[in-house]
């Protein structure tokens, strides 16, 4: 099976979703254009907790509506290029950092595209790199309209800016192809990309200059690139096996237990959904938030008792229990014996 030939996990938006990392770039570009982004985030119910969560995603349609609203607010129909100019490798998550530490610009951009599924999923297709042609291709999102022009602009612009960042060079492209017809901004686009731009083309793509493709990167670090690529592979495998909503909740719960009991509202905000939506998604998987929290605590408690010498008071704090007595009671319910007795058995 091809690495990207995947069915969307249940309860996700059928058109796809995108990480709030890209939402942050959009908001940064809008603010640079004079838009009141606080008003924009209120309108689209994007809390600070959602925007600062590495796990949060929003649907593709919601992202397009947000971009359209930002363009209407600032009047700049080329806001996508502004997004590209303000994008940084870290805005693509660990894939961006892995690419930034690669040995050459060609390897760097291929790394970024190889792991694009870590930050975006679109039912219409996936981006791809053609190294023999030094071409990077973004899939078609027809039919084109004022809600999605900026998406193409921002993706091609971000790839271009990424190459500029990792090489320290400004002129990095041979040509740009854009699928949608000209909107009358041809000269602006050619000035920004610093190469010929063809509108109404048969694909969305950028072709990288030969000397740039083989040029070393300014942040090359072989050991770090290998480690980050390994982390990307691990996350990609998790996505490929089809993470459930419950899986995503469990992953968020563990670091939040320390000293407190995470609420449904906290977890839903970090996932970028409403509490009601999260409850509905979990119910469709025949589970619930309290059940997941209890099961996650049970597994962690057993591991702490079996694998460590951590005291019961510290384990209670790590699992968000109010005191050791509460942990003792829960442990007795889970395993039918006390934590101390269980630790003796493991030994």
pLDDT beyond 70 at 119: yes
The arithmetic mean of pLDDT across residues 88-114, rounded, is 97
Query: Do residues 306 and 344 touch, judged by C-beta distance below 8 A?
Result: no
CA-CA-CA-CA torsion sign (173, 179, 180, 181): positive
Q: Tens of pLDDT along 166-192?
A: 999 999 999 999 999 999 999 999 999
> What percent of the chain lies above the pLDDT cut of 70?
95
> Residue 1's pLDDT is what?
31
pLDDT at 9: 42
pLDDT above 80 for 62: yes
CATH 1.10.10.60 residue ranges in the chain? 244-346
pLDDT at res. 14: 53
Q: Could you give the CA distance from residue 254 to residue 320 in angstroms, rounded to a whole number? A: 10
Instruction: Give the model's pLDDT for residue 307.
Output: 76
Q: Does residue 2 carry a pLDDT above 70?
A: no
CA 259 remoteness from chain centre: 28
Res. 309 pLDDT band, cuts 50 70 90? confident
pLDDT value for 293: 93
Q: Tell me which of 152 and 269 has the higher pLDDT.
A: 152
Mean pLDDT over the full length of the chain? 91
Q: Is the dihedral of CA 181, 184, 190, 196 positive or negative?
A: positive
CATH placement of domain 16-236:
3.90.1520
More confident call, 251 vs 196 = 196
What is 244-346's CATH topology? Answer: Arc Repressor Mutant, subunit A (1.10.10)
Short-list 88, 95, 101, 136, CA closest to 118? 95
Locate CATH 3.90.1520 in the chain. 16-236
The predicted structure's pLDDT at residue 277: 92
The predicted pLDDT at position 308 comes to 77
């Amino acid at each position: 099976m091809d690495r990207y030939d995947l069915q969307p996990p249940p309860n996700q938006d059928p058109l796809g979703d995108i990480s709030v990392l890209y939402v942050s770039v959009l908001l940064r570009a809008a603010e640079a254009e004079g838009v009141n982004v606080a008003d924009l985030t209120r309108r689209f119910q994007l809390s600070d907790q959602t925007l600062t969560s590495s796990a949060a995603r929003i649907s593709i349609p919601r992202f397009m509506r947000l971009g359209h609203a930002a363009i209407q607010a600032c009047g700049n129909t080329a806001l996508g290029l502004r997004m590209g100019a303000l994008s940084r490798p870290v805005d693509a998550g660990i894939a961006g950092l892995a690419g930034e530490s690669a040995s050459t610009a060609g390897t760097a951009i291929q790394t970024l595209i190889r792991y694009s599924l870590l930050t975006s999923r679109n039912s219409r297709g996936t981006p791809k790199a053609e190294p023999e042609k030094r071409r990077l291709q973004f899939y078609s999102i027809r039919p084109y309209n004022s809600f999605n022009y900026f998406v193409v602009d921002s993706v091609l612009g971000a790839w271009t800016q990424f190459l500029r960042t990792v090489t320290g060079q400004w002129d990095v492209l041979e040509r740009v192809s854009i699928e949608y017809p000209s909107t009358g901004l041809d000269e602006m686009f050619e000035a920004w990309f610093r190469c010929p731009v063809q509108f109404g083309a048969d694909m969305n793509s950028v072709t990288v200059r030969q000397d740039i493709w083989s040029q070393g990167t300014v942040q090359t670090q072989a050991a770090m690139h290998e480690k980050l690529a390994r982390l990307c592979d691990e996350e990609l495998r998790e996505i490929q096996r089809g993470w459930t909503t419950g899986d995503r909740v469990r992953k968020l719960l563990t670091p939040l237990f320390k000293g407190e009991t995470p609420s449904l509202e906290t977890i839903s905000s970090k996932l970028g959904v409403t509490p009601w939506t999260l409850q509905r998604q979990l119910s469709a998987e025949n589970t619930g938030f309290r059940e997941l929290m209890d099961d996650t605590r049970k597994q962690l408690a057993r591991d702490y008792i079996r694998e460590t010498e951590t005291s019961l008071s510290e384990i209670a704090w790590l699992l968000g229990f109010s005191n050791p007595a509460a942990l003792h009671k829960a442990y007795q319910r889970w395993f039918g014996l006390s934590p101390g007795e269980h630790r003796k058995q493991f030994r």
